[in-house]
Amino acid sequence: MESNTPILTLGVSLDSRSYPILIGSGLLRQAAAHITSLQPSQVAVVTHPRLAQWYAEPVGAVLAQQGIPVHLLTVPPGERTKRWEVVGRLLRQMAQRALDRRCVVLAIGGGVIGDLAGFVAACYLRGVRYVQVPTTLLAQVDSSVGGKTGVNLPEGKNLVGAFYQPSLVLIDTDTLKTLPIRHFRAGLAEILKYGIIADESLWQLVHDEAHWLRHGSSAHLADIIHRCCEIKAKIVSEDETEQGVRAILNFGHTLGHALEAVSSYGRLLHGEAVAIGMVFATLLGELQGITPQGSAEQMTSALRALGLSVALPLGVSHEELLAVMARDKKARGGHLRFVLIERIGQARLPMVVNEKEVIHALQVHRERFGRAST
Ligand code: NAD
Ligand code: GLY
């Protein structure tokens, strides 16, 4: 298992469900060896057609040389692929190929592939192992770690799913070289989120590196990915099923998920929706007297410097957003709940905010940050 650059390793500690996260350049070249060490009977690779050609086929070829049968299962790119019907299709393809309990599902792609393939692994034969090979920045810092798997319903984001941990996460930072810049920037929103909720020095580093990050590179990128995974691994190790502290990872997601749902999962990328949602939650915190005044402005400047917009999309009604937010997993008995921040670097657990205050904050958001400028 050779590599040119050091491989950073950390772990998620969950008793028998613990697993390592490996981060480095060129890691895909070692992927087959890591997967073989799991002694799979067969490997089902779930990916998109383009990623199959670039990343999955080379790994599959090495596995096949070692005598491990490999089944390539491709699905179209895009958030709309993360749906119930696609789960059924993949499960049937696995059954038709007689994949057994010792098989491994290999998810190669962004958060859509990871969430979908992880859920398929959780359901197939009541649970088979899976490995995450995240190839978007967002998936490398967030979705590949922590075992939240699932799909969307037309009624709301991620309304079907399971907490189901992978056996291994392999993060090859070289895959980001082919990632379109819009998707790279969407990942930056989740990176900034970690700084805002838990680590002011990470916020500062992202701020200092904004010019480079905005254009898709930074000498500190591997370190930044490592720091995000470290924060997430620690939180997940403490609270796997979101009974408490894990909820702070949903900062910006109450409105973010609603924006994705009302735009029929396509117009806004997940990270773009979260960027808007983070500014909104900060504004809400300011209006509630919890967050220091000026924090939403500060966050807006940081997000714009990273090439992200914070404006609420035109043509989306507040009533529509409210209805979707009430169905969100984070809502309780129809009451809207938001993660707010006490300051940059410190989040607090979700709290109920009444509808009138949410509508008022949406109006203020439109007035202050309405211009779709980046
Ligand atoms: P995505 O998976 O849709 O990937 C974005 C696009 O980039 C796709 O078109 C994909 O084909 C392409 N792509 C992926 N890797 C590439 C590469 N290396 N080179 C070129 N193109 C590449 O989007 P995403 O932002 O990675 O993930 C968003 C999803 O993640 C959402 O569904 C969100 O709900 C979910 N998510 C889950 C968690 C979790 O904890 N499970 C956390 C955050 C987000
Ligand atoms: N992205 C939220 C979580 O993993 O809990």
Express each pLDDT in 72-89 by its tens digit: 999 999 999 999 999 999
Alpha helices in 56-110 (DSSP H): 57-65, 84-96
Asked whether the beta carbons of 326 and 336 are under 8 A apart, the reply is yes
- C-alpha distances (whole Å) from 205 to each of 195, 275, 288 are 9, 18, 29
Residues 164 and 37 in one domain: yes
Which of 158, 178, 198 lies at the terminal end of a domain, its last residue?
A: 178
- C-alpha distances (whole Å) from 195 to each of 88, 238, 299, 347 are 38, 19, 11, 10
Q: Does residue 14 lie in a domain region? A: yes
Nearest-angstrom CA–CA distance, 274 and 189: 7
Closest CA to 252 of 150, 325, 305, 162: 325
Residue 2 pLDDT: 46
Q: Which residues contact 362 (CB under 8 A, 6 or more apart)?
A: 280, 312, 318, 321
Is 365 labeled as catalytic in the residue annotation?
A: no
Model's pTM, two decimal places?
A: 0.96
Residue 322 pLDDT: 93
pLDDT tens digits for the chain (374 residues)?
A: 444 578 999 999 999 999 999 999 999 999 999 999 999 999 999 999 999 999 999 999 999 999 999 999 999 999 999 999 999 999 999 999 999 999 999 999 999 999 999 999 999 999 999 999 999 999 999 999 999 999 999 888 899 999 999 999 999 999 999 999 999 999 999 999 999 999 999 999 999 999 999 999 999 999 999 999 999 999 999 999 999 999 999 999 999 999 998 887 778 999 999 999 999 999 999 999 999 999 999 999 999 999 999 999 988 899 999 999 988 777 777 789 999 999 999 999 999 999 999 999 999 999 999 855 43
Query: Could you please report the per-residue DSSP string of 259-294?
Result: HHHHTTTTSS-HHHHHHHHHHHHHHHHHHTT-SPTT
Q: Does residue 260 lie in a domain region? A: yes
**Residue matched to tokens 């970690």:** 194
For residue 134 and ligand 1, the question of a CB distance below 6 A is answered with no
Residues 217 and 169 in one domain: no
- C-alpha distances (whole Å) from 102 to each of 33, 121, 131, 159 are 17, 11, 13, 28
199, two tokens: 């680590």
Residues 157 and 115 in one domain: yes
For residue 249 and ligand 2, the question of a CB distance below 6 A is answered with yes
Residue 231 pLDDT: 98
Closest ligand 2 atom to the C-alpha of 142?
1
Ligand nearest to the CA of 132: 1
Residues 93 and 159 in one domain: yes
Residues 127 and 238 in one domain: no
Which CATH number does the domain housing residue 22 bear?
3.40.50.1970
Residues 236 and 253 in one domain: yes
Give the amino acid at 234: K
Q: Does residue 374 lie in a domain region? A: no
- C-alpha distances (whole Å) from 174 to each of 170, 177, 258 are 12, 6, 32
Residues 161 and 200 in one domain: no
Q: Dihedral of CA 224/225/230/236: which sign?
A: positive
Which of 160, 178, 196 lies at the terminal end of a domain, its last residue?
A: 178
Residues 168 and 219 in one domain: no
Asked whether the beta carbons of 232 and 142 are under 8 A apart, the reply is yes
**Pocket-testing residue among 25, 82, 143, ligand 1, by greatest number of atoms within 8 A of Cβ:** 143
β-partners of residue 106 are 45, 131
Is 367 labeled as catalytic in the residue annotation?
A: no
For residue 250 and ligand 2, the question of a CB distance below 6 A is answered with yes
Q: Does residue 318 lie in a domain region? A: yes
Is 148 labeled as catalytic in the residue annotation?
A: yes
Q: Does residue 2 lie in a domain region? A: no
- Residue 212 CA to ligand 2 centre (angstroms): 26
Number of compact structural domains in the chain:
2
Number of C-beta neighbours around residue 161 at 10 A: 19
Q: Does residue 310 lie in a domain region? A: yes
Residues 68 and 207 in one domain: no
Is 126 labeled as catalytic in the residue annotation?
A: yes
Which CATH number does the domain housing residue 263 bear?
1.20.1090.10
What residue's CA is closest to ligand 1, atom 40? 143
Q: Does residue 3 lie in a domain region? A: no
- C-alpha distances (whole Å) from 227 to each of 8, 203, 235, 256, 327 are 10, 11, 13, 23, 32
343, two tokens: 């300051």
- Model confidence pLDDT, tens digit, residues 110-130: 999 999 999 999 999 999 999
Q: Which residues constitute the domain of residue 202?
A: 181-369
Q: Does residue 153 lie in a domain region? A: yes
Residues 117 and 229 in one domain: no
For residue 190 and ligand 2, the question of a CB distance below 6 A is answered with no
β-partners of residue 131 are 106, 168
Number of C-beta neighbours around residue 113 at 10 A: 30
Asked whether the beta carbons of 45 and 108 are under 8 A apart, the reply is yes
Q: Dihedral of CA 165/170/175/176: which sign?
A: positive
Asked whether the beta carbons of 34 and 168 are under 8 A apart, the reply is yes
Q: Which residues contact 323 (CB under 8 A, 6 or more apart)?
A: none
Residue 374 pLDDT: 38
Which of 144, 178, 212 lies at the terminal end of a domain, its last residue?
A: 178
Nearest-angstrom CA–CA distance, 260 and 143: 16
Residues 31 and 166 in one domain: yes
What residue's CA is closest to ligand 1, atom 20? 179
**Pocket-testing residue among 136, 157, 165, 232, ligand 2, by greatest number of atoms within 8 A of Cβ:** 232
Closest ligand 1 atom to the C-alpha of 175?
18
Residues 80 and 188 in one domain: no
Is 232 labeled as catalytic in the residue annotation?
A: yes
